[in-house]
């Protein structure tokens, strides 16, 4: 017995030394000719708990990367939940210039810092590629008297107190602001919109039982309810009609004469100051992924739309979006 204990202690200390030696080599991988090839496990952070949109995207991307061998190194998904993403962003921010720590992001990466709940925003990270576009939908109970967005907005202009909008996120975040953005373009006073947040899964219920009037959410959340005839979609935030069975029936805000749209983009970022060689590498790999048949299947499964942007395009797109949101938040007095 004693001998085995001794051996294991010995083994442990040997491992300990081995561990120490490998420290400090984490940010390597860029070879002399200036190209980057990962030489260790890549960590993919989902800044939320298991099961949500970020988590699903991260896991599907990691899975397809692995199955297609587009990236040969292992990609492990790590969930860092908390603060609507703030905890994960702080964590990645601390991994300055590491080419092995990526994370998945979407518009909350702008909303959360703009609401003053995170020190880190999109400009603090290295955008690698955008992959997916998703859109918002505004739904009402099937027996509602409103037939399109203009009916709804007319009512809101006439009597703003009579209409309540529900969403899952807090005020100033996505579900709220996508509605404010479209409503404002239609001429509704953005400071008079009544919005309640329901984070315990009761938002759809509240619309179905008539407690609230409008459900501001993602397109994917409403398809089944529309098919069953429980709710109807007054408008979506896409620029043009979507493809697909029920989806193609949803009118866009633009075709109803409201010149505004909102994209729920989803893409990938790395820590600040990531090496250009690594950025180029990931940009190309994500492009390959986006064009692969396997990922097309994934998009179809979840009803996501293709929207690949490379690092430079992505950055430009993000900056424009950011400015628009900032102005809007200022206007309704939620800017920080």
92 makes contact with other proteins (CB under 8 A):
no
Binder among 39, 150, 155, 197 for other proteins (CB under 8 A): 197
Residue with tokens 């260790």: 40
What are the angstrom distances between the C-alpha of 215 and each of 61, 84, 238?
29, 21, 16
CB of 90 to other proteins, least distance (A): 6
Q: Which residues pair with 129 in a beta bridge?
A: 268, 310
- Applying CB under 8 A, the span of 25-33, 131-139, 197-205, 248-256 interacting with other proteins comes to 197-205
CB of 231 to other proteins, least distance (A): 10
Site string for other proteins, 216-235 (x = CB under 8 A): -------xxx-xx-x-----
181 makes contact with other proteins (CB under 8 A):
no
Phi, psi of 239 (to 5 degrees): -80, -35
Burial class of residue 326 (count of CB atoms within 10 Å of its CB; 0-12, 13-18, 19+): middle
171 makes contact with other proteins (CB under 8 A):
yes
200 makes contact with other proteins (CB under 8 A):
yes
Which residue, 227 or 273, is less far from other proteins as judged by CB? Answer: 227
What are the angstrom distances between the C-alpha of 29 and each of 73, 74, 98, 158, 269?
12, 15, 10, 62, 18
202 makes contact with other proteins (CB under 8 A):
yes
Measure the CA–CA gap between 96 and 44, rounded to whole angstroms. 15
Q: Which residues pair with 140 in a beta bridge?
A: 214, 232
Do β-strands 164-167 and 214-218 pair in parallel, antiparallel, or remain unpaired?
Answer: parallel
3-state SS class at 234: strand
301 makes contact with other proteins (CB under 8 A):
yes
194 makes contact with other proteins (CB under 8 A):
yes
Q: Which residues bind other proteins (CB under 8 A)?
A: 1, 5, 8, 12, 15-16, 18-20, 22, 49-52, 55-56, 59, 63, 76, 78-84, 86-87, 90, 115-119, 161, 164, 170-173, 191, 193-202, 204-206, 208-212, 223-225, 227-228, 230, 301-302, 332-334
């Amino acid at each position: 017995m004693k001998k085995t204990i001794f051996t294991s202690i010995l083994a442990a200390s040997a491992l300990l030394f081995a561990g120490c030696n490998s420290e400090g080599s984490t940010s390597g991988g860029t070879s002399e000719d200036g190209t980057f090839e990962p030489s260790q496990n890549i960590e993919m952070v989902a800044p939320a708990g298991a099961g949500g949109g970020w988590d699903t995207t991260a896991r599907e991307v990691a899975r397809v990367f692995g199955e297609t061998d587009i990236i040969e190194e292992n990609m492990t998904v790590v969930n860092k939940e908390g603060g609507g993403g703030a905890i994960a962003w702080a964590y990645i921010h601390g991994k300055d210039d590491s080419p092995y720590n990526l994370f998945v992001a979407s518009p909350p990466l702008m909303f959360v810092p703009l609401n003053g709940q995170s020190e880190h925003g999109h400009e603090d990270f290295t955008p690698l590629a955008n992959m997916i576009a998703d859109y918002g939908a505004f739904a009402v109970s099937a027996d509602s008297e409103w037939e399109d967005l203009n009916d709804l907005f007319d009512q809101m202009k006439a009597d703003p107190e009579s209409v309540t909008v529900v969403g899952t996120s807090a005020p100033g975040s996505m579900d709220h602001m996508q509605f404010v953005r479209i409503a404002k373009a239609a001429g509704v006073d953005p400071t008079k919109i009544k919005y309640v947040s329901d984070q315990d899964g009761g938002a759809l219920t509240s619309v179905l039982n008539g407690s609230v009037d409008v459900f501001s959410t993602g397109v994917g959340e409403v398809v089944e309810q529309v098919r069953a005839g429980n709710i109807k979609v007054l408008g979506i935030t896409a620029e043009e009609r979507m493809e697909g069975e029920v989806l193609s029936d949803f009118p866009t805000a633009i075709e109803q004469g409201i010149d505004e749209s909102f994209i729920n983009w989803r893409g990938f970022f790395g820590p600040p100051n990531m090496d250009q060689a690594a950025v180029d590498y990931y940009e190309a790999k994500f492009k390959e992924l986006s064009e692969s048949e396997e990922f097309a299947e994934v998009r179809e499964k979840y009803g996501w739309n293709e929207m690949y942007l490379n690092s430079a395009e992505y950055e430009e797109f993000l900056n424009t979006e950011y400015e628009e949101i900032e102005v809007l938040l200022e206007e309704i007095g939620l800017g920080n």
